[in-house]
Amino acid sequence: MDDEVNFGSIKVPKNSKTKLVSDVFSSVAGKYDIMNDLMSFGAHRLWKKRMCQISRLTANDVVLDIACGTGDIAISLLREMKSIKLTCLDENSKMIALCKERLINQGFISGISYVTNPMEKASFQENSFSLATLSFGFRNFTDHNKALENIYKLLSPGGRLVIMEFTTPQNSISKKIFESYTHKIIPRLGKIIAKDDQSYTYLAESISSYYSPEEVSELFYDNKFSNVRHEVLPGDIVTIHIGFKS
């Protein structure tokens, strides 16, 4: 049915997904950072570094960090170029509050604003950002096309969108190892550390039901982006996509 969307391994009515995803992130917010380090053995820091390199930040960039979470990408970008103007957007008020607190604690105060809204509903002035970044958030979205349409509008001509997401490995042995790690070990870690195995079961299932890198490229093209390309990072479990507004 058209009005049903994936929520992990199950289908749910489209109008209920954003709230269900929000409940997941409200539940894990306080343990989000430590879980990222544990689940990825710290590798998420290297992936995020690579994403920032691919973003090719310049001093005058006006950046929207979408699904900013607790602010990892925002902090990396600001450390690289303090002069940028940055808007952090997230659908979840707990995550964005943690992001704001972290940025302020690290002395990043001026030129930064915060928006609590799903990307599908967010409306910004057209052509007002030169870069949009979106790390590990896209697979949780309810309406990927609507979000991309909104992002395209807010980018200025020549502006770029960089999305990083998990990928299920192509190789059958790697796929088996990855799936048993994400479906069995991660929920157990979630139970011990965050006292919540269900949210981490959702996170694992949301990777399995997510698009392939080629399908994401198609979505970029369908939403008018040009010069679309992607890089699968070593390990075959993370892909970074980039596309430009003509």
Contact residues for ligand SAM, defined by CB under 6 A: 18, 21, 25, 66-69, 72-73, 90-92, 95, 118-120, 135-137, 140-141
Q: How far is the CB of 82 from ligand SAM (least distance, A)?
A: 20
Q: How far is the CB of 90 from ligand SAM (least distance, A)?
A: 5
> Which C-beta is closer to ligand SAM: that of 49 or that of 176?
49
Give the residue carrying structure tokens 């990892």: 72
Report the C-alpha gap between 38 and 44 in whole angstroms.
10
Q: How far is the CB of 172 from ligand SAM (least distance, A)?
A: 27
Q: How far is the CB of 5 from ligand SAM (least distance, A)?
A: 11
> Which C-beta is closer to ligand SAM: that of 19 or that of 60?
19
- 66, β-bridge pairs: 89, 134
Report the C-alpha gap between 58 and 83 in whole angstroms.
9
Q: What angle is formed at CA 43 by the lines to CA 40 and CA 47, rounded to 5 degrees?
A: 120
> Do the bridges between strand 112-116 and strand 85-90 make them parallel or antiparallel, or are there none, so unpaired?
parallel
Closest residue to ligand SAM in the complex (CB): 69
> Which C-beta is closer to ligand SAM: that of 108 or that of 136?
136
Report the C-alpha gap between 108 and 70 in whole angstroms.
14
